[in-house]
Amino acid sequence: MATFRLQGSKVLAVDMTGDTVKAKNGSMVAYDGQMAFKKMTGGGEGLRGMVTRRLTGEQMTVMEVKGQGTCWFADRASEISLVHLRGETLYVESSNLLCTDAGLRTGTTFTGLRGASQGNGLFTTTVEGSGQAAIMSDGPAVVLRVTPQYPLSVDPGAYIAHQGDLRQDFQSGVTFRTFLGEGGGEAFQIRFEGDGLVYVQPSERNTVGGDV
């Protein structure tokens, strides 16, 4: 299996011995040995997946990298975190996904109102199976543990991914004050309950929630 390691916090090195990984299109910065790059249509989920992706707006251009040697990936100087999956599902925005083991299945899932407040649409990408994935964030990501006793509320603009057995709930603190322009600036949150991990970046995307 391909080995993922971080070289610094912004460059991912993948050591390969004839195996395959899936990576964001154009994210290779260097390689040694022999590598072949092939674009996969519609995020590597076949025709049905492609249609779903088109419809859901969770567009992802992915390439298949096969080879022998080391391949280095990076994207716009984003910070990279490694996620180990053991038969679990990782939920991540397609724009935050850098690279996955080819053995992992990717798909699309409905997120409900959360996505709309994030400005990311109503759908998110899922990565399922056993292996490694690399996710990107603006600034070093913080991994927060959620247990049944300790639920967590996250700013939609700072959320990047989650894994484990978690329920997510959209919370809105919109009151009449918000409409008067007296809001606290934190009108929307996503609340996670259950057992799992949430990845949060120290930066906020522009969201509808940030303005109210």
Partner 1 sequence: MPFREVNSRVVEAVIAPGQKMFSQRGAMLAYRGEVSFTPNVQGGQGGVMSMIGRRVANEATPLMTVEGDGTVMFGHGGHHIQVIQLSGDTLYVEADRLLAFDGTLTQGTMFMGSQGGVMGMVRGQVTGQGLFTTTLKGHGAVAVMAHGGVIELPVTPGRAVHVDPQAYVAHHGDVRNKLSTALGWRDMVGRGSGEAFQLELSGSGAVYVQASEEKL
Which residues contribute to the site for partner 1 (CB under 8 A)? 7-11, 25-33, 35, 37-39, 41, 61, 63-64, 72, 74-77
Residue 113 and residue 138: Cα distance in Å, rounded? Answer: 23
| Bridge partners (DSSP) listed for residue 110 | 123
Nearer to partner 1 by C-beta: 61 or 147? 61
Decide whether 15 or 169 has the Cβ nearer to partner 1.
15
The full 3-state SS of 111-146, as one line of letters, equals: CCHHHHHHCCCCEEEEEEEEEEEEEEECCCCEEEEE
Q: How far is the CB of 97 from partner 1 (least distance, A)?
A: 15
Q: How far is the CB of 130 from partner 1 (least distance, A)?
A: 26
Q: Please answer whether residues 108 and 49 qualify as being in contact, where contact means their C-beta atoms are separated by less than 8 angstroms.
A: yes
Cα 186 to Cα 171: distance, rounded to the nearest angstrom: 10
**Closer CB to partner 1, 9 or 109, in the complex:** 9
Q: Which is nearer to partner 1, 61 or 172 (CB)?
A: 61
Name the burial class of residue 144, with classes exposed (0-12), middle (13-18) and buried (19+) by CB atoms within 10 angstroms of its CB.
Answer: middle
Minimum distance between the CB of residue 149 and partner 1, rounded to whole angstroms? 39
Query: Coil, strand, or helix at residue 41?
Result: helix
Minimum distance from residue 87 beta carbon to partner 1 (Å): 30
| Closest distance to partner 1 from the beta carbon of 16 (Å) | 14
C-beta closer to partner 1: residue 74 or 154:
74
Give the shortest CB-76-to-partner 1 separation in angstroms: 5
How far, rounded to the nearest angstrom, does the alpha carbon of residue 137 sit from its chain's CA centroid? Answer: 9
Which C-beta is closer to partner 1: that of 30 or that of 174? 30
Residue 67 to residue 98: CA distance in whole angstroms: 18
Partnered with residue 100 across adjacent β-strands are: 22, 133
